[in-house]
Amino acid sequence: SSSILPSPPCAGCGSKVGSTALSEALRRVQQDFPALPRDAVLVGLDSPDDAAVVTVPPGQVMVHTVDYFTALIDDPFIFAQICLKHCLSDLYAMGATPYTVLATVQVPYAAPAKQSEMLYQILAGTHKGLLASGTPLVGGHTVVGPQLALGFACNGVADPTQLLRKGGMRPGDALILTQPLGTGTLFAADMQGKAKGRWIEEAIAHILTPNQAAAEIFRAHGATACTDVTGFGLAGHLLEMLRASGVTATVYLDALPVLAGAAETLAAGIVSTLQPQNLQAAAFIDPAGTSHPLYPLLFDPQTAGGLLAAVPATTVQACLTDLQQHGNTAAALVGEITTTDRAYPLTLKRE
φ and ψ at residue 313, rounded to 5 degrees: -60, -30
Which residues are CB-neighbours of 6 under 8 A, at least 6 positions away?
Answer: none
The whole-angstrom separation of Cα 32 and Cα 345 is 51
CA distance 334 to 253: 7
Q: What beta strand segments (E) does the chain contain?
A: 41-43, 53-54, 61-70, 97-108, 137-145, 149-158, 174-177, 225-228, 248-252, 307-311, 332-338, 346-349
H/E segment holding residue 81: helix 76-93
Could you tell me how far CA 277 lies from the centroid of its own chain? Answer: 19
Let me know if 73 is exposed, middle or buried by CB neighbors in 10 A (0-12, 13-18, 19+): middle
User: Alpha-carbon torsion 315, 98, 200, 182, what sign?
Assistant: negative
CA dihedral 112, 117, 120, 124 (to 10 degrees): -170
Give the span between the Cα atoms of 301 and 293, in whole angstroms.
Answer: 17
Q: Catalytic positions, please?
A: 13
With a CB cutoff of 8 Å and minimum separation 6, the contacts of 109 are: 9, 144, 145, 146
Q: Is the dihedral of CA 47, 51, 52, 56 positive or negative?
A: negative
> Whole-angstrom Cα distance, residue 36 to residue 39?
10
Burial 275-308 (b: 16+ CB within 10 A, else e): beebbebeebbbeebeebebbbbbbbbbbbbbbb
For residue 29, which phi and psi values (nearest 5 degrees)? Answer: -70, -35
